[in-house]
Structure 1
Amino acid sequence: MEKKIWYPPRDIVDQSNVKLFMDKHGFKSYEELVRRSSEDLKWFWGNLPEWLGVEWFREPKAVVDLSRGVEWAQWYRGGLLNAAYNVVDRIVKMGYGHREAFTWVGEDGEVRRYTYLQLKDEVDRMAKLLSQDYGLGVGDVVAIYAPMMPESIAAMLAAMKVGAVASPIFSGFAPPAVAERLKLGEARVLVTVDGYLRRGRRIALKEQADQAVKLAGGAVEHVIVVRRLGIDVPWVEGRDEWYDRAIAGKAGSAEPEELDPEHPALLLFTSGTTGRPKGAVISHAGAILQPGKEHYFNLDIHPAWRGGEDRLWWITDIGWMMGPWQVLGSQLLGASHLMAEGAIDYPYKSRVWRLIQEHRVTHFGFAATVARMLRAVASDTVEDYDLSSIRAFGNTGEPIDHATWMWVMEKLGGWRRPLINLSGGTEVFGCILLPSPVVPLKPTTLWGPALGVDADVFDDEGRPVRGEPGYLVVKKPFPSMTRGLWKDPERYIKTYWSRFPGVWYHGDYALVDEDGFWYILGRADDVIKVAGKRIGSAELESVLTQLPEVAEAACIGVPHPIKGEVIACFLVPKGGYDAEELASKARKAVVDRFGKPFAPEHVVIVSELPKTRSGKITRRVLRDLARGVEPKELSVLENPEAVEKLRDIIKRIGGG
């Protein structure tokens, strides 16, 4: 069933947080609320803490101070707060300690549930270990190299509680990538795990952590090891300590450090297009206000004080932004969230549907590639499970194609639940664009700007454009923007504020259509320029994945001596196909949509594309190979063996 515009059902609108808010404050439409929030930042960001129930140790005297320039905006001057206190202690203090904070499910079926009271006890014990035994305090860095699991969450929150900086690192990174982040962050403590399960295999992470510590050159003083598999691990006496033993004798509450709202809560490293990783510094205020706002107004997670019993599950890792975002946003509202160890289609292909049914997931988020994978391997089992608990879906990490958007809306949501397609980034710890449950949607759209975010689309000269692609920018600051880059202020200005002076350049290629709906077309470095004509990779891929024979697609620009670049499309077929016929059909589909100048020079049929564990296709690997550059940090990939096959293919078509 084809739908050009989806309209939210009346009951979803009437029961939503944002509708109740608009009625209370006299807004006739969501558009009016968004407009007011971006025009009057002091009104919106000044009142948001109260709307979300944030508790201050000392109320701020000013909402924002721009005396150092828009690039160095300072928020909530004079105030004192603590992010960890607000997402744990405050919930207990309000009388919701018995409610579930999260559930963790192992790949082997083990289930562990934590109430807010249990979580508070563990966070307090860990906080005492960090501050009393290790002498950590304000500004020290605690790195976490482990999957999404209860101890990872407790360690992250404990670090924040004592004023240290939590630095989660993707559990799939190889030792050299981990070492680089440990060294850049000058981490004094590393929290890791003996091992974990992935597709039935035991991943011995402690061994890799030891290699990383050695490569980092000795900055790490203590290594805390979580017991997951109970396997033998290498041990350094005097440095290593078992997590459970270390916190066993630390009963009693730990007082939170009262911090400036600008104080760093999170150090999140994100790969740069060149050079070393960028250290995004997220403040205590930004770490709770941005995800809290998005969970409340946009995902429509009902807080505990509204009687909500919502549970969010976003398929992610604590080392990616969406991991801490899930924890801090849901827990600020006294809601619950789910974490699942291992792969989404193992030990059975319908694992996702079973987890949603068993744990009554109300909000389910993913990367578009995950949805495509589920569509390919588990679509035939959807009807065997009860997914009626879901009130909203979410997509982020990459643009979603038309066919997958339609499948989620129809097959999974029965046209009754919104797909909250969101886009932002690690550097802003949240979203720049996303819809709410009360607005109409077109397929693949992000609707428009987030609340409190003055977004626009600029052309090369810095002029706003509509109806044609341009660069996503933000014209005013907001609290969760990175507070510089970790010990690299010059790179911060160069990366985000130099393309259009005084305007945040986000690096995404975007479009606002004739009806005012916003779209992300991919990263700006995913833009392909054929004889001076620009097109986004995601635009091409969206057309190709609508072909019934195509399961996945990735398009890049391959260097060409005359045209600058030509288009190369890599297709993963669904089943039986004729290679020449499929290639011809793919070229025709692109030409029919975009014209002959954008006809792909190369259409290559491949068995798989390089993907991260969260399911995101990594085009940067393809681009690097096409330019003769050795791809970095291949340890993030679920299937690094795919790179070697692609290396040979790209050489044959003239790239590299």
Structure 2
Amino acid sequence: MTSDAAIAGPQERGFERADVVWRPSAQVAGSSRLSALMRAHGIETFQELHQRSVSDPDWFWDAAVKDLGVDFYQPYERVQNTSRGLAWTTWWEGAKLNVVHSCLDRYAGTPTDLKTALIWEGESGEVRTRTYAELRQSVDDLAAGMRVLGVAVGDRVGVFMPMIPEVAVAVLACAKIGAVLVPVFSGYGADALAARLRDCGASMLICADGFSRRGSTVNMKAVADAAADECPALAAVVTVPHAGLAPGPQSDRDHQWSQVLASGHAAPTVTEQLDPEATLMIIYTSGTTGPPKGAVHTHGGFPVKGLSDMAYAFDVGASDTVFWFTDIGWMMGAWLIYGSLMAGSTMVMYEGTPDTPTPDRLWQLIEAHKVTVFGVSPTLIRSLMTTNAAGPAAYDLSSLRVVGATGELWDTQSWMWCFDEVCGGQIPLINYAGGTELSGGILCGNVLTPLRPKSFSAPMLGMAADVVDEDGVPVRNALGELVVRSATPGMTRGFWHDDERYLDTYWSRWPDVWVHGDWGYIDDTDGLWYLLGRSDDTIKVAGKRLGPAEVETVLNSHPNVLISAAVGVSDPVKGEKLICFVVARGAQPQDLSLLPAELADMVGSALGRPLRPAEVFLVPDLPRTRNSKIVRKAIRLAYGGVSNLDQSAIENPDSLQAIRECARGRAS
């Protein structure tokens, strides 16, 4: 790697190697699903298992689906076929399957059928549950009712709902009849919803009438109607009466949830037996520019990868209760539904905000439902750790075995707070990073290997990950591009009707290498991995590269900083200059006048004088997604004066106005 990039390693600029803070006990390690897999194949160490999983992927994925209990109607003759090139690898050749069989059908008449499959809690505190048998019956009824309305194999069906029990029913009913699920973020407006439905040619939309958000009711049906008017191919809108809103004007396309279920209840619904490469889902990922990308996933891909990650990273099994704070529009929503049911465990869904009516809501929920595996974003932890409400210590969180984190990068302070306060310093806090296009993780921790704050133990099993320099050469102890050198079942089969964009995005830089777009770092002293932000968020000041996480770690360590974002903007002298945006906490506005200069000096001291920020701005909020991921590209473009940003994935688009005002104030 060239010298300007090589200095960007974490140890060189303020990213000190922390001590190991957690090691698995013999009981935890010995009883884990990873250990069981290793014993079954005579493998001694996790490192040996991982090496075999990437050197012989046919062996690993065959062993994994058998160990995980993925059910095929007809066995596969070949694990993978790379004849069209690595980017177009197909899986389970010759087999027949349907994810709903592994999620529900196979449990019919077994003890699992009587077990709780789903626990839902609303913002008001209302709780509803469904057993596996009850969930299966609802799925059968909806699937049959969808067929009555003309939905056939391959038809696209939008699902626009909050995290309520009916969203799981809709997700699974689509799969049961071979329809293609198109999950849509519950907070989207009509334009964003319509754009996705039009792009995939959806023939049906399933929506809720509304949902609760900080004590107010959001009218989803009004959004759905406005979107439907712009989608000529949309023949049916099915509405779940969740919020109790009075029905608005009805048209021929409108159908009530109860009526659709009743129409399908008369006869059992046969589960479609499908090719593993049959499309299961199109899930749209959106940036701040360009149209959203529709990642195509299959029955033999997304669920297999998701279950593998659940089992081998988070040790999820049939006795677990899993709660991941998410939305159906994000990958983790479908991941939770498919993975928990295939594992025979219980999923928890929460509809509402994590700080309503009080900031201890999540801790209450974990205690009440005896959650064993809990997933959260680092940004959400940062916001919850600063409140004056009762913290985790006020609740009985002893049911927890594993806490997972994804969506954003950690700073050391918030990681340690979560480990000490939520994990009690006793259970693993497992980092998880990957993407929608991969159906899950590239890097993760696990319950067999030691943990240092913010680190990843290794790539996921089956993931031939690496970190390379600008010439594609592997590097250690230096910042580089995170890449993957093999195919996995969960890799997207391309973008919907846009193969060229898919190849350009991930496979065009080096032959047969997936370039993920993150900066990675492998510490050769102990083999731990780190991420330092998106490579397209990289800042290069006077020839020196750094990731936003390096700057934000310093900023977030200040007691008056709640959260921060660092971006690079064009500069005629240095190429780029470092600009930081900070949301303050604790002090009154009149006490913060000196804070920007103090923070700039902190960064300069920690990272080197040439990397001192050109500006530090105090802002009321930062643009973020519903799952609390900060949208740095939107910050950079808004500060640069770009007005036509795609704000559909941003939970709080008003935050961009303050950033634009910072730029105008500086210019004046």
User: What is the TM-score when the length of structure 1 is the normalising length?
Assistant: 0.96
Q: Which amino acid aligns with 2:86?
A: V
Deviations 1:399-424 (A, max 9, x none): 11111111111111121111111101
Percent of matched pairs sharing the same residue: 40
Q: Which residue of 2 aligns with 1:629?
A: 642
1:294 to 309, 328, 344: 309
Partner Cα separation in structure 1 for residue 595 and residue 321 of structure 2: 42
Kept in 2: contact 1:192–1:209 (CA 8 A): yes
Q: Which residue of 2 aligns with 1:615?
A: 628
Kept in 2: contact 1:173–1:633 (CA 8 A): no
- 2:239 aligned with 1:225: yes
Q: Which amino acid aligns with 1:636?
A: A
1:99 to 112, 115, 128: 115
- 2:531 aligned with 1:520: yes
1:571 to 576, 582, 593: 582
1:546-565 equivalences in 2 (<5 Å): 546-565=557-576
- The alpha-carbon deviation at position 620 of structure 1 amounts to 2.2
- 2:400 aligned with 1:400: no
The structure whose RCO (Cα within 8 Å, separation 6+) is larger is 2
- The alpha-carbon deviation at position 298 of structure 1 amounts to 0.9
Q: Which residue of 2 aligns with 1:28?
A: 44
Deviations 1:319-373 (A, max 9, x none): 1001000111111111011111111110122111111100111111111111111
- The alpha-carbon deviation at position 635 of structure 1 amounts to 4.2
Q: Which residue of 1 aligns with 2:517?
A: 507
RMSD in angstroms over aligned alpha carbons?
A: 1.7
Q: Which residue of 2 aligns with 1:236?
A: 250
Q: Which amino acid aligns with 1:519?
A: Y
Kept in 2: contact 1:83–1:287 (CA 8 A): no
Partner Cα separation in structure 1 for residue 59 and residue 110 of structure 2: 26
2:264 to 250, 260, 273: 250
Q: Which residue of 1 aligns with 2:286?
A: 271
Q: Which amino acid aligns with 2:603?
A: V
- 2:277 aligned with 1:262: yes
- The alpha-carbon deviation at position 507 of structure 1 amounts to 1.1
Deviations 1:416-440 (A, max 9, x none): 1111111010101100110111111
Q: Which residue of 2 aligns with 1:374?
A: 384
Q: Which amino acid aligns with 1:59?
A: P
Question: How many positions carry a matched residue from both structures?
Answer: 647
Q: Which residue of 1 aligns with 2:64?
A: 48
Matched position secondary structure for 1:18: helix
Larger CA deviation: 407-416 vs 272-281: 272-281
Matched position secondary structure for 1:610: coil
Q: Which residue of 1 aligns with 2:200?
A: 185
Kept in 2: contact 1:474–1:504 (CA 8 A): yes
- 2:449 aligned with 1:434: no
- The alpha-carbon deviation at position 585 of structure 1 amounts to 3.2
Kept in 1: contact 2:22–2:450 (CA 8 A): yes
Kept in 1: contact 2:359–2:389 (CA 8 A): no
Kept in 2: contact 1:102–1:339 (CA 8 A): yes
User: What is the TM-score when the length of structure 2 is the normalising length?
Assistant: 0.94
Deviations 1:290-326 (A, max 9, x none): 11111111111122xxxx2x11111110010010001
Q: Which amino acid aligns with 2:194?
A: A
Partner Cα separation in structure 2 for residue 121 and residue 414 of structure 1: 40
Matched position secondary structure for 1:262: coil
Q: Which amino acid aligns with 1:627?
A: G
Matched position secondary structure for 2:558: coil
- 2:356 aligned with 1:346: yes
Partner Cα separation in structure 2 for residue 205 and residue 636 of structure 1: 16
- The alpha-carbon deviation at position 594 of structure 1 amounts to 2.0
Matched position secondary structure for 2:73: coil
Partner Cα separation in structure 1 for residue 594 and residue 457 of structure 2: 36
Deviations 1:196-247 (A, max 9, x none): 100010100000011111123x111000000112211323332101101221
Partner Cα separation in structure 2 for residue 98 and residue 16 of structure 1: 25
Deviations 1:10-64 (A, max 9, x none): 1322322212322332222111111110111000012211111111111010011
- The alpha-carbon deviation at position 654 of structure 1 amounts to 4.8
Relative to structure 1, the CA distance from residue 215 to residue 632 in structure 2 (aligned partners, 3 Å threshold; closer, same or farther) is farther
- 2:123 aligned with 1:135: no
Q: Which residue of 1 aligns with 2:605?
A: 592
Q: Which amino acid aligns with 1:201?
A: S
- 2:480 aligned with 1:470: yes
Kept in 2: contact 1:82–1:284 (CA 8 A): yes
- The alpha-carbon deviation at position 580 of structure 1 amounts to 4.8
Larger CA deviation: 518-527 vs 112-121: 518-527
Kept in 2: contact 1:207–1:233 (CA 8 A): no
Q: Which amino acid aligns with 1:16?
A: S
Relative to structure 1, the CA distance from residue 598 to residue 96 in structure 2 (aligned partners, 3 Å threshold; closer, same or farther) is same
Partner Cα separation in structure 2 for residue 649 and residue 24 of structure 1: 60
Partner Cα separation in structure 2 for residue 80 and residue 379 of structure 1: 52
Q: Which residue of 2 aligns with 1:16?
A: 32
Partner Cα separation in structure 1 for residue 379 and residue 229 of structure 2: 35
Relative to structure 1, the CA distance from residue 326 to residue 146 in structure 2 (aligned partners, 3 Å threshold; closer, same or farther) is same
Matched position secondary structure for 2:643: coil
- 2:137 aligned with 1:126: no
- 2:83 aligned with 1:75: no
Q: Which residue of 2 aligns with 1:415?
A: 425
Q: Which residue of 2 aligns with 1:545?
A: 556
Larger CA deviation: 197-206 vs 136-145: 136-145
Kept in 2: contact 1:130–1:136 (CA 8 A): yes
Partner Cα separation in structure 2 for residue 117 and residue 612 of structure 1: 35
Q: Which residue of 2 aligns with 1:84?
A: 100
Partner Cα separation in structure 2 for residue 391 and residue 235 of structure 1: 49
Larger CA deviation: 614-623 vs 255-264: 614-623
- The alpha-carbon deviation at position 523 of structure 1 amounts to 1.2
Kept in 2: contact 1:530–1:563 (CA 8 A): yes
Q: Which amino acid aligns with 1:229?
A: A
Deviations 1:488-511 (A, max 9, x none): 111111111001121111111111
- The alpha-carbon deviation at position 5 of structure 1 amounts to 1.0
Partner Cα separation in structure 2 for residue 624 and residue 203 of structure 1: 29
Kept in 2: contact 1:9–1:416 (CA 8 A): no
Partner Cα separation in structure 1 for residue 268 and residue 355 of structure 2: 40
Q: Which amino acid aligns with 1:56?
A: F
- The alpha-carbon deviation at position 633 of structure 1 amounts to 3.8
Larger CA deviation: 623-632 vs 258-267: 623-632
Matched position secondary structure for 1:346: coil
Kept in 1: contact 2:288–2:645 (CA 8 A): no
Kept in 2: contact 1:191–1:223 (CA 8 A): yes
Relative to structure 1, the CA distance from residue 118 to residue 632 in structure 2 (aligned partners, 3 Å threshold; closer, same or farther) is farther
2:466 to 456, 466, 478: 456
Q: Which residue of 1 aligns with 2:19?
A: 4
Partner Cα separation in structure 2 for residue 352 and residue 319 of structure 1: 21
Deviations 1:511-560 (A, max 9, x none): 11233211111111111111222111112111221222211111111221
Partner Cα separation in structure 2 for residue 404 and residue 600 of structure 1: 23
Partner Cα separation in structure 1 for residue 183 and residue 651 of structure 2: 19
Kept in 2: contact 1:316–1:323 (CA 8 A): yes
Relative to structure 1, the CA distance from residue 620 to residue 379 in structure 2 (aligned partners, 3 Å threshold; closer, same or farther) is farther
Structure 1 unaligned regions, length at least 5 = none
Q: Which amino acid aligns with 2:414?
A: T
Q: Which residue of 1 aligns with 2:9?
A: none
Q: Which residue of 1 aligns with 2:4?
A: none
Kept in 2: contact 1:625–1:631 (CA 8 A): no
Kept in 2: contact 1:602–1:653 (CA 8 A): no
- The alpha-carbon deviation at position 378 of structure 1 amounts to 5.8
Q: Which residue of 1 aligns with 2:499?
A: 489
Q: Which amino acid aligns with 1:137?
A: A
